[in-house]
Amino acid sequence: MLNLFFLIRLVNYCLFTISIFFYILAITTCISNLSILSTITLYFLTLSLFYYLSIILRKNVIEDGNELCDRCKIFHNSKANYCLFCDRCYLKKDHHSPWLGKCIHNQNYKEFFGLIFFLDLSLFLLGFLQNFIFLFVLSLVVLIYLSFICYVWAHNMTTREYILGEKGSPSAVTLYNVLFDGSLQNVFILFLPFRRVYVNFSVEH
């Protein structure tokens, strides 16, 4: 088991290194090609990198609850789910991301959506800048995954609930809350993330 966790950590560090290398290379490419398209691409890349680092560096707040988990030994809400890789429980856990080495849950839904959304736009525009068909294919793959996320969240379900065939609850993630923080006036927050983003869902205790 110890070797398995070591291997997982090693994979996480390798993926982190590859991701940072990609961002450096992509940003350098945009800067070296001064044009309107490269400027827009650079902006999307910056937003994608912002959300990427926000998820990795963010320290999650432990949710209050009255149930003691037998595995992580932390009191949590009854709707929290245990993650074997993180060795702790998360409220409304969506899935564990091997790429990020983190769980996607109610405290980082918006960052994750912003990461995938702007990464997809960046890959597509980079394909135009470099005339590289692989980037177009990669952006299509990311778009398919983004569409899946939107479909699941639009039905008030997490990815975990969808895979296990569980019904979404009123306290589940909603696409509306992720995108707009509960108000259409907040749509600009996704494109201008100057404040710490946090999606708060009401949960019955």
pLDDT digits (tens, 9 = 90+) for 104-125: 888 888 889 989 999 999 999 9
Q: What is the arithmetic mean of pLDDT over 198-205?
A: 39
In-domain check, residue 50: yes
In-domain check, residue 185: no
Residue 205 in tokens: 């205790």
Residue 196 in tokens: 């710490």
In-domain check, residue 169: no
Does 197 have pLDDT greater than 50? no
Q: What are φ and ψ of residue 82, in 5° steps?
A: -80, 140
In-domain check, residue 102: no
Short-list 51, 106, 47, CA closest to 80: 106
Residue 154, classed as helix, strand or coil, is helix
Task: Report the predicted TM-score, pTM, of the whole model to 2 decimal places.
Answer: 0.81
Short-list 122, 94, 87, CA closest to 108: 94
In-domain check, residue 165: no
The domain containing residue 33 runs over which residues? 1-58+107-143
Instruction: Strands of the chain (E only): list them.
Output: 67-68, 75-76, 80-83, 88-91, 95-97, 102-104
Short-list 75, 55, 74, CA closest to 65: 75
In-domain check, residue 170: no
Does the CA dihedral 88-92-98-102 come out positive or negative?
negative
In-domain check, residue 92: no
Residue 182 confidence (pLDDT) = 57
Q: Count how many domains the chain has.
A: 1
In-domain check, residue 118: yes
